[in-house]
Structure 1
Amino acid sequence: MAYYTIDKRAKADGTVRYRCSVSIKKDGKRVYNESKTFTKQAHAKTWGSKRVIELEQSGIPNTNDLNKITVGDLLKRYVLDMLLDCDIAEIPLTDLSTSHVIEHCRQRNGAGAGPSTVNHDVSYLSSVLASAKPVYGIDYTTNPATDARPLLLQMGLIGKSKRRSRRPVSNELDRLLAGIEARSDHIAAKIPFVDILNFSILSCMRVGEVCKIRWEDVDEK
């Protein structure tokens, strides 16, 4: 049985998008899902109704047909929901170019995302494009995200995170500890975050270094 649902989502710049998800259930389990984002709810409803009828008539489509795959389809397989809300997700996979990647980074930057955050977008997109053929069997071997990286660095749209210029003050540490303690009280909590944080502060060691310490490394003298 095919059906559709519509989710209203607000983007970082304040604009509202409507994501219509069309699914097929068989024996109580979802066996197929696709989605598309629209600027108007009416358009989302129209598309959803149309796709439900098409799926009822034609059945589950071949999801590896390159000519019918958008970048968003591939991102959904890679479970990158945050990129699915961006305009780049609506571009057909065969049409994707470096200019699309650059424009995506410009939009993200304009919405307030810093070079480091945008750099994550490019890395995720590059990874999912690289996985198309070897992981999913889709005949797609180009990677505009990787190709665009040198120019994006030159343009300052992506980059490394800024070096910390100060240490946290007392009240900031108190708030951080309070949050970690609340998390540690959860029934499923197993990692001693409070101990790790306190030891890191006292020893000036990185979290990764603290977590690598073994009992034989401890000098009790």
Structure 2
Amino acid sequence: MGTITPRENKDGSTSYKAQVRVRKGGKVLHQETKTFERRQAAQIWIKQREAALSHADGLKAALQENPSVKEMIKQYIAELGKPLDRTKKMILNQISGSTLGDIKAAQLESADIVGYMRTVDVAPSTRGHYLAHLSSVITLARPAWGYPVDASVVADARIALTRMGLVGRSKHRERRPTLDEMDRLMAEFGKVREGTPDSIPMQVLATFTIFSLRRISEICRLRWDDLDEDGCRVMVRDLKHPNTKVGNDTWVDLTPEALRIVKAQPRVDDRIFPYRALTASTAFTNAVQLLGIDDLHLNDLRHEGASRLSEMGWTIQRVAAVSGHRSWNTLKRYTHVRKVGDKYENWKWLDVIAPSPDYAMPES
């Protein structure tokens, strides 16, 4: 016997979730669900499916077209038509290898997803990424391949997980370095570089992070042939975005200070900054710990850079042109910053790493 469950939509309308099950020996052998805008349509579908599944051939065909979550993920990756970024691929592979990956499409319920997510030891915001990547597979499975899976199971699971506090937005960090902290870090980076000339130039990378608003992974991918010096801009390959990263190539503006730093770099590689992002992050963390600076991350320098531009009176639109944000919502938290001028005006370290023609190096 099929069942119909009313569902209230966000716009106030009602949809109807129809479900049919085939049991054998007390176990669910096959299950199908489909959502309709009208109850009558749901009732007709139930009658049609029950009639088809009552015959051996109809049930056999349904079972053959009922792959597991793991198999749907494999087909999704194979037929997507574009490469997945490393994080999404890792998450989908993790789901495939779990008990959730063994559940058949027609038997998949929101409770299965909730149960799996409760076992994943990550931050609430990261669980949201798990749901988003799983949803991208599930929502494609029925219209693209005809698999009997109900796309609403992920949405229902998200509602439950959100109310349980297991899924939520990431918290914005507000940590900004003081000028004294930056001076101490720059001095330490200089000592390391002087003692080990082949070490990564953290003075350059830390300063460029502030003035460019770029992630260190993006900085280490910038290429000379993607630089438009006359237009004061550069192409950022695979710019991070909530929905996609691979192939998300975006032109971003360079602040005068950022362009000055770029022009000061030697052309020894196709990349402007030919270094490993992980090495830079580790070097920054080591310096922070050595100096006893509390809770400062390399990525906090991006926030510092955006705050600086806002304090200089830049509009959200203009800051977004530098940061590369498609949506201005992320940058709205800077609108409360009062125009107080340039915190880094006449900052000596910019002249140290990218000397201007009339700059004289300080005596040691």
Instruction: Name the TM-score, length of structure 1 as normaliser.
Output: 0.52
Answering whether residue 141 of structure 2 is matched by residue 136 of structure 1, we say: no
| Aligned partner (choices 68, 92, 99) of residue 70 of structure 1 | 68
Mapped contact 1:71–1:90 kept (Cα < 8 A)? yes
Instruction: Specify whether residues 168 and 105 from structure 1 end up closer, same or farther in structure 2 by C-alpha distance, changes over 3 A only.
Output: farther
Structure 1 window deviating more from structure 2 (80-89 vs 172-181): it is 172-181
Structure-2 separation of matches of 1:116 and 1:130: 21
Match of 1:195 in 2: 254
Q: Select which of 118, 126, 132 maps to 1:117.
A: 126
Change in CA separation of 1:168 and 1:117 when aligned onto 2, cut-off 3 Å: farther
Residue 89 of structure 1 is matched in structure 2 by: 101
Describe the SS at the equivalent of 2:139. helix
> How many angstroms apart in 2 are the aligned matches of 1:77 and 1:200?
41
Q: Are the aligned partners of 1:101 and 1:145 in contact in 2 as well (CA < 8 Å)?
A: yes
- CA drift of 1:153 comes to 0.5
Within 5 Å, give how 1:16-165 maps onto structure 2. Answer: 65-67=64-66, 69-79=67-77, 81=89, 82-86=91-95, 87=98, 88-108=100-120, 110=121, 113-165=122-174
Asked if the contact 1:70/1:91 (under 8 Å) is kept, the reply is: yes
Aligned residue for 2:277?
none
Q: What amino acid is the match of 1:92?
A: K
The change in CA–CA distance for 1:200 and 1:128 in structure 2 (over 3 A counts) is same
CA distance in 1, matches of 2:64, 2:149: 11
Q: Percent identity?
A: 25
Give the AA of the match of 2:309: S
1:66 is aligned with what amino acid?
E
Secondary structure at 1:161's aligned position in 2? coil
**SS of 1:135 mapped into structure 2:** helix
- Aligned counterparts of 2:168 and 2:146: Cα–Cα separation in 1: 32
CA gap 1:194/1:143 in 2 versus in 1, 3 angstroms: same
Question: What amino acid sits opposite 1:144 in the alignment?
Answer: V
Counterpart AA for 2:254: D
* Residue 149 (structure 1) shift: 1.4
AA of the residue aligned to 1:76: K
User: Are residues 1:182 and 2:182 paired?
Assistant: no
Give the superposition deviation at 1:143. Answer: 2.9
Q: Amino acid of the residue matched to residue 71 of structure 1? A: V
Q: Which of 285, 299, 320 matches 1:208?
A: 320
Change over 3 Å in CA distance of 1:92–1:186 after alignment to 2: farther
Is the alpha carbon distance of 1:90 and 1:84 closer, same or farther for their aligned partners in structure 2, counting shifts above 3 Å?
farther
Gap runs ≥5 in structure 1: 1-61, 213-221
Question: Alpha-carbon deviation of 1:208?
Answer: 3.3
Question: How has the CA–CA distance of structure 1 residues 186 and 121 changed in structure 2, closer, same or farther, with 3 Å as cutoff?
Answer: farther
Larger radius of gyration: 2
Distance 1:168 1:76 in 2: 45
CA shift at 1:201, angstroms? 5.7
* TM-score normalised by L of structure 2: 0.34
